[in-house]
Amino acid sequence: MVIKILNAILTVGIGLAGALVLYWLLNKIAELLPTRWEDRVKPYLYILPALAAIGLYLVYPAYQTIVFSFANADSTAWVGLKNYRDLLTNSDFHQTLFNTLLWIIIVPTLTIIFGLIVAVLADRLRPRAEKTAKTIIFLPIAISAVGAGTVWRFVYDARPPGEPQVGLQNEIVTKLGFDPVNWLQLSDFRVNSMLLMVILLWAQVGFAMVLLSAAIKGVPADTLEAARVDGANERQIFGRVVVPQIRSTIITVFVTVTIGVMKIFDIVYVMTNGDFTTNVVGNQFFNELFTNFNNGYAAAIVVLLMLAVVPLMAYQVRQFRAEEATR
């Protein structure tokens, strides 16, 4: 343990020292230029390392992924649009897309709803109780998705009838006199997928609560008092005064959670590996790449995912700029 900590400290120290040396060299290079050119070039030299990192670790891999999406399974021959045609005409992939769509619709919406409810209720507590409640609700976001899946396995676990039940839900079910239920195999009406969504909700509600609570606290007290003077009740004040004024925060949280949901993989992989109609696009990609060793299919799935995510990111950036322009 001590060695690991020392290695981490050493790594951070070397990284910081390397960054300082790099920027010192870039500054020296800028100073060699004439004064007029130094002022023009220096900002670009300072952002050069960041641009190089983005190009190396983001732009180039994205380009290479697009190229591989038009190649065969081992990326040795060009197959054109075959990977996309095969995926989009595959009934199993249709099920995967439909399941992913359910995640996209349900999880962000419920995250916003529960985040607002918890934020409003927590804000009504005394300061110390409010901090305690928010800390407890926020804690799950600190747990990795794999860890969250492991925790919830103990909630959904099912043992044969007559055996002691480890799973919390089946313990309750058997105490009520019913047989244990294998929750993760309940594919009718996507019950098992809904139960997996609960895990992500458990992890994301705290994130939504913190941002929405801060936005609610930022609503001017004068507008609330004016609404009360005009005879509005608390429900009307919240729906017609508070919510419109925190609209930009709600959109930001919604888009952020939606992008995270579109990439969801860990929870499904740990809990079911996509069996029993619980598969999602992220898990399908992982299985195509590391189980089926089909680089072409995996790359095509990633490209489809990128095409779906980019408009959301563009919309979020536009909303952020519009919000900044009004300040």
Mean pLDDT value of segment 207-223: 91
Question: Measuring CA to CA, which residue among 201, 172, 177, 193 is closest to residue 260?
Answer: 201
317 or 158: which carries more pLDDT confidence?
A: 158
Q: How far apart are CA 264 and CA 145, in angstroms?
A: 9
C-alpha dihedral, 135 to 140 to 144 to 146, nearest 10°? 160
Mean pLDDT value of segment 7-33: 87
Map out the domains of the chain as residue ranges: 2-68, 82-325
What's the pLDDT tens digit per position in 23-74? 888 888 888 888 788 788 888 888 888 899 899 999 999 999 999 999 999 9
Q: What would you measure as the largest C-alpha separation in the chain, in angstroms? A: 86
Confidence at residue 298, expressed as pLDDT on a 0 to 100 scale = 94
Element (H, E) at 290: helix 281-290
Average pLDDT score over the chain: 90
Confidence at residue 297, expressed as pLDDT on a 0 to 100 scale = 94
Confidence at residue 327, expressed as pLDDT on a 0 to 100 scale = 64
Q: How far apart are CA 168 and CA 190, in angstroms?
A: 21
Q: Under CATH, what is the fold of the domain 82-325?
A: MetI-like fold (1.10.3720)
Residue 319 has pLDDT above 90, yes or no: no
DSSP bridge partners of 43: none
Residue 322 has pLDDT above 80, yes or no: no
Instruction: Give the pLDDT band (50/70/90) at residue 100.
Output: very high
Mean pLDDT value of segment 273-295: 93
By CB atoms closer than 10 A (0-12, 13-18, 19+), residue 50 is: exposed
Q: Are 265 and 241 in contact (CB under 8 A)?
A: no
Mean pLDDT value of segment 269-277: 91
Instruction: Give the pLDDT band (50/70/90) at residue 227.
Output: confident
Confidence at residue 91, expressed as pLDDT on a 0 to 100 scale = 92
Q: Which amino acid is located at 85 in the chain?
A: R
Confidence at residue 258, expressed as pLDDT on a 0 to 100 scale = 92
Confidence at residue 113, expressed as pLDDT on a 0 to 100 scale = 94
Residues 6+ apart with CB under 8 A from 154: 166, 167, 168
Please state, for a pLDDT cut of 70, what percent of the chain lies above it.
99
What's the pLDDT tens digit per position in 302-312? 999 989 888 88
Distance, CA of 84 to chain centre: 25
Q: How far apart are CA 259 and CA 204, in angstroms?
A: 12
Residue entry with tokens 């860890």? 147
Residue entry with tokens 């309940």? 186
Contacts of the segment 125-130: beta carbons below 8 A, 24+ positions apart: none
Residue 324 has pLDDT above 80, yes or no: no
What's the pLDDT tens digit per position in 141-190? 888 888 898 889 889 999 998 888 889 999 999 999 899 999 999 888 88
Confidence at residue 310, expressed as pLDDT on a 0 to 100 scale = 86
Instruction: Give the pLDDT band (50/70/90) at residue 202.
Output: very high
| Residue 235 vs residues 62, 109, 114, 183, 238: alpha-carbon distances, Å | 47, 20, 16, 37, 5
Q: Are 237 and 228 in contact (CB under 8 A)?
A: yes
Q: Are 133 and 226 in contact (CB under 8 A)?
A: no
